[in-house]
Amino acid sequence: MSDDRRDLIAQLKNRALVYLEVFDVLSEEFGAARAESLLARAIERRGRSAGRALAQFAPADFDGLCKAFLKGVPGEGALFAPELRRCDADGIEIQFHACPLKDAWEEAGLAPDRRATLCRIAGRVDKGMFEGAGFAIDNRTWTPGAQGCCFLAIRRA
């Protein structure tokens, strides 16, 4: 593994641990439900900002959107292992088979339900990004017992 790839994995895992610390601090102050809502809202807002770069593909250039999105996946896809299941005139479906963020939470010893909560929160970046670009998205994040990670289904808004 190259030093660049190791550094990128370390950065992504650090981001995951920052999410965990922020979630825990917010939970102490406001309770877990409110903490999830606040952190998810902030992450979605960041996604909306990033989504502006993809707005050129709205409302229905799914081929262009797919190419641009997959090109921007950190580590050129090697770290998240995206599987393009569909890209046609009706939309895009992508299954991610790996996630350094989820790996970091597992390595930190978090119970599956806490990992699932943090996956839901982190997944809001995709919701914000695609909605901010002018598309609709169904993001099914990892749940205990599931294989892989997020499944994204992007459609016309």
The pTM is what?
Answer: 0.94
| Sign of the CA dihedral running 91, 115, 106, 72 | positive
149 pLDDT higher than 90:
yes
Written as one letter, the residue type at 13 is: K
* DSSP E strand boundaries for the chain: 82-88, 91-96, 135-140, 151-156
At 1 the pLDDT is 67
At 110 the pLDDT is 98
At 118 the pLDDT is 98
> Domain 3-156 is classified in which CATH homologous superfamily?
Trafficking protein particle complex subunit 3 (3.30.1380.20)
Can you tell me the distance from the alpha carbon of 140 to that of 67, in angstroms, rounded to the nearest whole number?
A: 21
Q: Is the bond into 59 cis (omega within 30 degrees of 0)? A: yes
Query: Can you tell me whether residue 150 is helix, strand or coil?
Result: coil
* Average pLDDT score over residue span 128-140: 98
Q: Please, which residues have CB within 8 angstroms of residue 67's CB and are 6 or more apart in sequence? A: none
Contact yes or no for 99/89 (Cβ under 8 A): no
Under the banding of pLDDT at 50, 70 and 90, the label for residue 60 is: very high
